[in-house]
Structure 1
């Protein structure tokens, strides 16, 4: 069956003319923002300061909106409700993870990066260790971003192909070209302001669907009653086993750690926080981010429960209305929202906006990282205009690679799990590298490189084994309310879950612990390797997190820094060489 799935066979409504109009206009607005900052604005994007940091004059609201939008991808808007439908609403506990992440940003990581004022977060690693560590981290970050972006593109394309006559691959290509276009010519300002517009569309789309669904299903009371009977109201599964797919602890520990890793040392986030005038503005951006991020996540959870209440007696996968569970939200929208003119178009525009914001953010950030870490030092006399042009070319090249990788994403499983796997493979090692620099005085360059290689290698084996040997679990589903021949069927959990006892236990690890495990592996390898290969390289106290700076004495013996004038001058010179002037 084609990607059009069973929708076409049942003659469900496609987009109306109004839906097409709303969708096209709203998506093209993002392109106009890029055109404005690339050609019309008085401050052209022809130097690295403008292109990467927006001249450091961005306000906290657009920066917070950009952070939210770039981390609320289409995979969140579509895959999260699907996750709630299949596995219950325990994801609501992620609100605690958002709060913990906010505190970690403000008190641990941001003070270090903001104090140094570097263009790239990876420049920190050259100051703390050496250039090899910086390049290693930059490669890991760039590769993971390039692998993740096709997922971001594929998910909304799947939704749009479901409600239109458009070919899936034509959609992915045209969407990517649009995003590459406005990111290339507009730089960070275009990314941030288009993210702000796209965030408004995301919120408008998901909130509209949420309230419409609540109304159609006769209120939250009825929705929760149905969800409770179906076993979807799961809030505090206190099973401490790390091999349980999800529990209170996987969210409170695993997800909190994962989000801190994604936000605390991510180049995407560091670049945005450095685009504001001072640290107080950066803190305000964090506060707004935590509130906005939590609101959208909670809204997606409510939408997921609402979807379950509608299909509780007739699962659309079993009844062949959809082929992939990630298509369940567009199906729900087209079945309940077509009576409101333009709402389907607004919703799909919101989904696409999530995709565009995530992709544009990654393109801009990865291009900047590659230029700063691999190209700039080879051309020290290059003009700022030439540097900006090189980064624009990098955006085009990366975008072309991402378009080609979309064909691979089609063969993967449920997007929610896939996203965690891709992030876990790289984020654990990256977070471990930065944490080793900020929290340890003994880990050296050889230790951190050995730890990073071990972390990625072991995680890759675990992730491949998990996806190969185990099917994702699911709560019971039913088709008792469907028409013949799908009626009177109940599919219990055991049918969809691989219960094979001979699967090696490490492959059963919850995917929410991947990032934490990757970080632990790095430290377990880095500490003994550092001990065996000599002392840690001298470094300045400014490279430690403020929590440690306040609790140590600034003496040569305590911090390992050679305080003679030559070393101090060398350090300051190194800072100046790495800082964007």
Structure 2
């Protein structure tokens, strides 16, 4: 009982009251209430202290890239702060290259033109020599030419961007391409080479005994080639314009005119030897970019380690889910069939295979092609991994510095390689080399199909002298490839699937976006009205 009296005496002193419960039940109730009060107060204080010390915030990012991509937390960088100055992009210096770079770039054009002039003076006295080089080429230059023909600037920009953004899984197509070349050596070449074809469509007539079918297939092939020339010419000019002060349209005319002239005057001999030069420049430029990039990061082991952390080395994803972006099985089949069609039936490949002295030389040429194929795509994939490792945790695309993954290499060259005189110019020359080689090969192939499949169906050309025949072939080379460039085509394609009212609305939005200097992605175009309204209010 003394303990109970002491307890209630303490209660009176604390709460300042003289009333003490007399009954046991009242005292028990009061004691329980006081105990609950103490427990609740202690729990509240403990939780409050815990929240103040360690706030319960769900952090969903662990890098600057993650911070930029998340939408839950608002963030900003104070102007002129150290962080702001660190990530600030000097756009004026970023898009300029030096005099040394322009010299390297110009040297590519000069050497290409000189090879065309030399080839034009050396021979080309008949259509057979102009289109096939009298079937006397050695395997190595033809293999290099064939490799260059299918590794364009689109490969250097598109595949590196794919590796940078999504990893090496897409690179499995190289294995499928190698298998398609092996298939060509053992199953396609023994059938096509003995026929001594100039145009692949000659096989159509021999197989189906139909000149009309041969003409139809030839026209379809020419139409496809003309459209392909436009895209081959337009795609690299975007990258070239981003690192130089020359506009896209100017590049279209420069590349188109140079390529048309040396193809017209030099024939297949000029095309093959300029391809050899351009492949050498492409290999040197790409290898230097990869090696210097690896050295800046700390070596190839560090590049692979960072790429592995980011999931960019995942290759053996063997599943057949059609909703996956890319898997081992699908990319392998893509490489086999897409490049199989090229090596089994494309005019460029058949023309090269039949331009060597013997079937054994043709097999040797394709075996050399396999080695070169693997080598150049290892370098291209390496460029993508180096770019990813360089910007790991600081993605230029997430920061809005670039808008497409295909721009990563041009930004990487301008941002990290500009301290080496001539290297940005060498990279530009690499893009130019890929463009010129692919374009000249398509032009020469188109001339072969036009001459053999269409012109020789008329008696005037059949009975023409060698001089007239050669003049006709050179005129056919001078088809105006500039007019088919997507620079002109793409803006008009929308007319086929949008009504006039929709086009007017889109055009008005585009003008407002340009007027207010708004940066907008294509997938955000529907939200442009709100963006324009916010800018005009401010």
State TM-score, norm by structure 1.
Answer: 0.67
**Range 314-323 or range 25-34, more displaced:** 314-323
Which position in structure 1 is the counterpart of 2:489?
408
Aligned to 2:46: none
- The answer (yes or no) to whether the contact 1:150–1:409 under 8 Å persists in 2 is no
Q: Distance in 2 between matches of 1:367 and 1:7?
A: 47
Counterpart selection for 2:94 from 12, 21, 24:
12
> Could you list the per-position Cα deviations for residues 408-427 of structure 1 after superposition, in whole angstroms to 9, with x for gaps in the alignment?
35899xxxxxxxxxxxxxxx
Q: Residue in 2 aligned with 1:245?
A: 325
- Note the C-alpha offset of 1:161: 1.0
Q: Which residue of 1 aligns with 2:190?
A: 111
Q: Distance in 2 between matches of 1:341 and 1:290?
A: 33
Q: Is the 2:447–2:476 contact (alpha carbons within 8 Å) kept by the matching residues of 1?
A: yes
Q: Name the residue aligned to 1:83.
A: 162
1:20-169 correspondence runs (5 A): 20-38=102-120, 40-41=121-122, 43=123, 45-129=124-208, 130-169=210-249
Judge conservation of contact 1:23–1:349 (CA < 8 Å) in 2.
yes
Q: Is contact 1:23-1:346 (8 Å) kept?
A: yes
Q: Any residues of structure 2 matched to 1:502-517 within 5 Å, and which?
A: none
Query: Against the structure 1 CA distance between its residues 242 and 389, is the aligned structure 2 distance closer, same or farther, given a 3 Å change threshold?
Result: farther
Verify the 8 A CA contact 1:210 1:302 in the aligned structure 2.
yes
Q: How does 1:454-493 map to 2 (within 5 A)?
A: none
CA-to-aligned-CA distance 1:339-391 (integer Å, 9 cap, x gap) = 21111111110111010000000001012102211111113212233222222
Correspondence for 2:341: 261
Aligned to 2:463: 381
SS in 1 for 2:396: coil
Contact 1:46-1:389 within 8 A present in 2 as well: no
Residue 371 of structure 2: SS of its match in structure 1? Answer: helix
Range moving further from structure 2, 11-20 or 265-274: 11-20
Could you tell me which runs of 5 or more consecutive residues in structure 1 were left unpaired when the two chains were aligned: 1-5, 413-460, 462-485, 487-494, 497-581
- Contact 1:206–1:299 (8 Å) recurs in 2: yes
Deviation at 1:319, TM superposition (A): 2.2
Give, in whole Å, the separation in 2 of the partners of 1:86 and 1:324.
10
Shift of 1:249: 1.0
The answer (yes or no) to whether the contact 1:91–1:301 under 8 Å persists in 2 is no
**Residue 236 in 1 paired to residue 331 in 2?**
no
Distance 2:491 2:241 in 1: 13
State whether structure 2 residue 403 is matched by structure 1 residue 312. no
Q: Match for residue 265 of structure 2?
A: 185
CA distance in 1, matches of 2:447, 2:483: 13
Runs of 4+ in 1 over 4 A off after TM superposition: 409-412
Q: Alpha-carbon deviation of 1:46?
A: 3.4
**C-alpha separation in 2, matches of 1:13 and 1:79:** 20
The aligned counterpart of 2:49 is: none
- Tell me, what secondary structure is at the counterpart of 2:251? helix
Q: In 1, distance between residues paired with 2:465 and 2:391?
A: 60
For these two proteins, the number of residue pairs brought into alignment is 408
CA offsets, 1:85-128, max 9 Å, x none? 12211133233223212211111111111111121111010011
Decide whether the 8 Å contact of 2:229 with 2:439 is kept in 1.
yes
For 2:477, the equivalent position in structure 1 comes to 395
Q: CA shift at 1:180, angstroms? A: 0.6
Rate the CA distance shift 1:135–1:56 in 2: closer, same or farther, 3 A.
same
Distance 1:210 1:410, change over 3 A: farther
Contact map agreement 1:198 1:357 (CA 8 A) in 2: yes
Q: Report the TM-score, using the length of structure 2 for normalisation.
A: 0.72
Quote the residue 2:283 is aligned against. Answer: 203
Of the candidates 431, 438, 443, which is equivalent to residue 351 of structure 1? Answer: 431
Match of 1:328 in 2: 408
Give the Cα–Cα distance (whole angstroms) in 1 for the partners of residues 136 and 178 of structure 2.
27
Q: Which residue of 1 is the match for residue 418 of structure 2?
A: 338
Structure 2 unaligned runs (5+)?
1-87, 498-518, 525-538
What is the alpha-carbon distance in structure 1 between the residues aligned to residue 490 and residue 407 of structure 2?
15
Conserved? CA contact 1:93–1:248, under 8 Å: yes
The alpha-carbon distance between structure 1 residues 57 and 210, as it changes in their structure 2 partners (threshold 3 A), is same
C-alpha separation between the residues in 1 aligned to 2:482 and 2:95? Answer: 34
Alpha-carbon contact 1:19-1:343 (below 8 Å) kept: yes
Tell me, in whole angstroms, the C-alpha distance in 2 between the residues paired with 1:401 and 1:47. Answer: 29
How far apart, in 2, do the equivalents of 1:410 and 1:200 lie?
36
